[in-house]
Amino acid sequence: MKSILLSHIGKRKINQDVILVKNLNPDTYVYLIADGMGGYDNGEIAASISIENIFSFLSDVNIMDEEKIQKAINKANLAIRQFQEQNQSKLGATIGGVIISENVAKCFWVGDVKIMQFRKNKIIYESKSHNLINDIIESGSLSDSKNFSKYAHVVTRSIHGNIEKSKLSYKELDLLVDDILIVCSDGVHNLIDSDSLEYMLSEKSDFDSTIENINQKLIVEASDNASLIAILYN
């Protein structure tokens, strides 16, 4: 398994994204990105609290499944709520993660951190963000497509102390040798969508060159905090 991590401040004052890549055991790898929410206080603290509590809970889990991961997120929610009460501060984060064991990637997210799977440089899976535009589309109530874009950045699920609004989405992906997984915050996927990533993967002959190409684009063009984990399964 090979992974490359990128994280850029963009044009923000601070970087509120937090990345964690660790082994749970010799055969299980955990990849997490938490994105502190804009408009809230202490976004970087919320991201750190989320990452620390989720990984701490998962470290004690023997059989990893959707229920156990949700409990890890609930633990992070409780820690966020306690911080809010002690500091009179409103804070929250979105989260996306991949747990790889053998040839299966257990993917989960709350909010708009995205997870994508590429095989032979083609996108074969892309997570659907928890945002207002997707909620409206699913409900069938969108009447004015011209105003589509204004809903895209309104997150409808996050880790911010309310368990009812932090239900994860979960997906298990079978992996083949040379599959590539991308976990990225919205600062990346708002700038480089899955079609662009397909093109960049096909343009370069090797994994390292492709990710460096992405890195250079983020350095030059990213306006928001932009964090990415690229995983090459081998």
pLDDT reported for residue 136: 77
- The structure's pTM equals 0.93
pLDDT (tens digit per residue) in 36-70:
986 677 899 999 999 999 999 999 998 899 999 99
pLDDT of residue 188: 97
How are beta strands 17-25 and 2-8 bridged, if at all? Answer: unpaired
Give Cβ neighbours of residue 177 (< 8 Å, ≥ 6 apart). 233, 234
Residue 133's pLDDT is: 82
Distance, CA of 220 to CA of 132 (rounded, Å): 29
Question: How many Cα atoms are found within 13 Å in the side-chain-facing hemisphere of 59?
Answer: 10
Q: In this predicted structure, what is the pLDDT of residue 106?
A: 98
Distances (CA, A) of 35 to 25, 45, 136, 227: 25, 10, 23, 9
Q: CA-CA distance, 134 to 155, in Å (whole number)?
A: 10
Q: Which residue has the tokens 């990213």?
A: 222
Q: What residues in the chain have per-residue pLDDT under 70?
A: 38-39, 140-152
pLDDT value of position 134: 79
pLDDT at 94: 97
CA of residue 220 relative to chain centroid, distance: 22
Fold that domain 2-232 belongs to in CATH: Phosphatase 2c; domain 1 (3.60.40)
